[in-house]
Homo-oligomer: A and B are copies of this chain.
Amino acid sequence: MKTVGVAILGLGVVGGGTYKILTEHREFYRRTQNVDISVECVLELNRQRALDLGVEESRICSNIAEVVSNPSVDIVVEVIGGVEPARTFVLAALHSGKTVVTSNKELFCKHWFELEKAAKRTNAGLYFEASCVGGVPIIRTLVDGMQANVVNNLTGIINGTTNYILTRMTKEGLDYRDALKDAQALGYAEKDPTADVEGYDATYKLSILASLAFHTKVPLDKIYREGITEISKQDIAYGEELGYVLKLLAIGKNDGQGEIEVRVHPAFIRKDHPLASVNDSFNAVFLKGDCVGDIMLYGRGAGALPTGSAIVSDVIYAATHSDSKYATFKNTQQAEKGVRFVSDFKSRYYIRFTAKDRPGVLAKVAGIFAKYNISIIDLIQKGEGMENIPIILITHETGELSVHRALEKIAALDDVVEVNSVIRVGD
């Protein structure tokens, strides 16, 4: 039986979950995977945290040099998060020929090629299934399950925090602020929630997933990003009336002619779309391949054990495969070759504005939309008899720039008090 020694860098939520899974399942993996995996050491400055988890005193390291010089360590699991010191630690592990398994989406999407080159130099492995969508094996699916296909479309709910907040706002009519507070109290959101609610976390994951799906490096700065902090419960309620649910979507499109479109933003999707019923902290990814058609993977996108499951799956994969060490581009030259990224993408739009209740205001608004070739599918007008009334409409597919130009003109109308919201509507 093969024996494998693991080091875990960081015993936070995911590190603790990984430690628990590896120690509690050791006999199970011996029996079912024919491999004996032992946790040889952990790097954790808070010694008490390590001791509380049951780590022997002698296996607690306080610097990376101890870890990389330990000959019993074959695989280094990095679950610190953030770029530094994670990057330095991962590079040190790779330089010393140790395989790295990481859940660090920010590090990976920003330093992918640097890490991969370092790994190849010493013939070390580099695995990152846990970086995207927690326990859902989306990386394995893209790399080892969908290779036969030209993937044209990837649409996902890939951030659990925002999906939890939006689900509470939708189901209970909560304000964004109140839903966020609850999410923080329950540990679904960080004290500083910026990375999640402003969509950064989703762009890290989309950068990785779209790169693999489209066989080309999709850099972070090419991804359009918009968070959920400006979403109001009114818009969610009006959307529901029109048959839509609001989600933070990560969208990647590949036209097959070298043009790629990548974006993260809130979007209304129809209630009968399979992604519409993905609620709370669950995640899901839809893929469209030219052979297989639509595929969806659904599961928990975060949490100690789901993310730990992905990490341990990589550890076992690394321990039992002698090749396929880089679940990444088979053809790096191709992957580094430039593609065009779409900036003026097309979408349908939900628009809400407040107007004075005077005759003729709708005619003027409709006239401006017509001038910009924007046609309207649905329109509701609320609050008859009030001085200022909300008007909600949904457009046919149109270019981003046209919408913004039209809305500038509309905002300047005497009868229009304010343009309140502009939210994209999914296909």
A311 to chain B, nearest CB (A): 8
A294 on the B face (CB < 8 A): yes
Encoded as 1 (CB less than 8 Å from any B CB) or 0, chain A from 19 to 40 comes to: 0010001001101111100000
- A contact residues, range: 35 or more
Q: Is the CB of B294 within 8 A of A300?
A: yes
What's the number of copies of this chain in the assembled complex? 2
Determine whether the beta carbon of A145 is less than 8 Å from that of B137.
yes
In-complex Cβ contact of A147 among B277, B291, B316, B322 (8 A): B316
- Which of B32, B144, B289 sits near A215, CB closer than 8 Å? B32
A390 to chain B, nearest CB (A): 32
Specify which chain B residues have a CB less than 8 angstroms from the CB of A323 in the assembled complex. 320-323
Does A234 reach chain B (CB closer than 8 Å)? no
- With both beta carbons as reference points, the residue of chain B lying nearest to A134 in the complex is identified as B292
Q: Given the complex, which residues of B lie within 8 Å of A299, measured CB to CB?
A: 292-296
Chain B residues in 8 Å Cβ range of A141: 137, 140-141, 145
Contact partner, A309, options B149, B272, B322, Cβ 8 Å: B149
26 examples of A-B residue contacts, CB within 8 angstroms: A17-B291, A25-B148, A31-B215, A32-B147, A32-B334, A33-B147, A33-B331, A34-B330, A134-B292, A135-B289, A135-B293, A140-B144, A140-B145, A144-B317, A147-B312, A148-B310, A277-B277, A291-B305, A291-B306, A291-B308, A292-B299, A292-B300, A293-B305, A293-B306, A294-B298, A321-B324
Closest 9 CB pairs of A and B: A137-B145, A135-B292, A148-B312, A291-B309, A295-B299, A292-B309, A296-B298, A34-B330, A32-B215
Residues of A within 8 A of B (CB): 17, 21, 25, 28-29, 31-35, 129, 134-137, 140-141, 144-150, 215, 272, 274, 277, 289, 291-300, 305-306, 308-313, 316-317, 320-324, 330-331, 334
